[in-house]
Every structure is written in structure tokens, then in C-alpha cells.
Structure 1
């Protein structure tokens, strides 16, 4: 999360893609059921060597953030800035945590079949590796979304969500016809 802020601050972040371009970057570990914040960390940017030095790499950040829930068997949902195959394998084996997250297409461990454009709209491609499932979904022409999961191990699509999707799709089509 980028909390909007325009004052004088050493660790002020600039993110041109956000509505508030200047702010303080915050990382949260939040329980999805209770909305309780287990852990919060402020991004201090690149740090100098010294007694308070913290590694700011994504893997080190994730490992610090999951400390309160390590070994509990819970699921961690994260965005594409954090998700990678080596990290998900490590969280599953060393910390007993499953992961569900979107992935960036530039990761070296992703096969070209999952990155390619020209897939049929609403089509899904599944890939399996031991305990991981990689999914490539095409929501619209020339756009693919990649999901990585250690929580799911089959290519079954929930029929209730598929029915709800078809209902919303027919509603959108009717609205366009009007």
C-alpha cells in the first residue's frame, strides 16, 4: 500500500502508476477472516550498512512478514511483486504455508506457453510441477493473467463461480444491446 504523503521524509516513495504518486510504502500481513493486522512494516528504501540494517529484497521481506504465522499451515495471498516459484517452494517446505498469488510474466521459471498472446478469450491453461500449479487465464484479447498456487493441485474450475460469471457476462451483453 502507498499511503499518500507529501511532506519531508527520507523514505518517501514515488510510484507514477498510483493515483497518489508520492507517499510512504507500507507492507501488511492481515488475517482475511478477522481483518486483524498481524504485522506491518514500513519500506525504508535502500539502507546503509550499520546496526539497524534490514535486507529489503522481496524474499527477505516476505520471510520477516510471515514470522507470526510460520508453521500454522495457513495460506498466504500475495501480489505479483512478491510471487515467485522459489519463494513459494520455500514457504511450503520450510514454513508449512501455502501460497496463492499473481505472477509477472518476466520470471525465468515461466514457460513460453504461459506467456504467449493470441490465446482464446476466457481460456485457461494449467501447468503442474510437484506441489505447484501455474494457471494462465486470458480475460480479454492479447492479455494474460498468471496465477501460482501451492494450495490447489488440480485443474477443476468451481461450477458456482462459473455460473455467476456467465450470469454477469449475460448482464453485460444485455446492457450493451440496450
Structure 2
């Protein structure tokens, strides 16, 4: 029945794949799939073709922390800090380019985002993401191969999000 289209509605599963890229970089791929066998084959092929290894469940997850991330392109740092910390944010970071990042727990993300919005502060970017606990710096050669792997993983039909702990300097990125 499945192949004939007689079934009502599809069953989609959220599946996370973990693996290693070049130079010991950790990669997590979140997928939404109706066919786990196809998806694992696609992910494994991407890793293998571009110098990585698909790992087992939990092989790299411990290298990441789930956190809320709310970014403002610019703004009144004191106002953002006061509103964010009052609403339960963990940290507020001022960046060299004038942007301001607010870090939250996943549980407090919407509370903090709404509190900032309520006082007229609109974020340029907001998401719950997997932040690497440590980073691996890549040189130009490794970065080039690594980005091919990341691009391939992101291009897979079932991929929702790709997280990694590679640290590629602005100078190296400019050469890619």
C-alpha cells in the first residue's frame, strides 16, 4: 500500500545523525524523513565522499550545548541587557561590530524573546541552536574540504539543520 499512494498522510521522523569531519571536527545533522534507510544512506555517503565518518548516536552530541540565541544588529546595550536579564537570559554579549547577542536556556527562549519584543526590541535573528562547547580551527585546505561536506549535507532533501564545531577564520573564509 505504501508505494501505491493509498495511505493517508505520511509518517515523518526527526532523526539526528552525528559524525566527524576533517581534523576531528564534530558535525550533527538534524533531519526530517519518511524513509530512514534512504536518509542514513544519503548522510553516510556525504560523510564518506568528503572525508568524514558517520558516528554512532551520542558520539559528538556531548560536544554541543542546546541554547537560545537572540541577536540584535544594533541597539541600546543597557536597555537590551536590562530587559533580557530581567526576563531570565543567561548572558548578554556585546560584539565588536556593534551587534548584541542574548543567550538563554532553551526553556526560557520564548519568554526572553517576548519580553524583549514587548519593550519594542526586535531581534535581527532568533533561534534555539546547538552551540559547540569547543571549536576546532581549520586551515585553508581543510576548510575548503570541510565546507564541501557541510554544503553537501545541507543540500540533502531531508536535512533540516547542520551544526558543527569548526572555527574558520575570516581570512580563510575570504579565500574560499
The TM-score bracket by the shorter chain reads under 0.3
Higher helix share: 2
TM-score (norm 1): 0.24
Which of the pair has the greater relative contact order for Cα pairs under 8 Å at 6+ separation? 2
TM-score (norm 2): 0.25
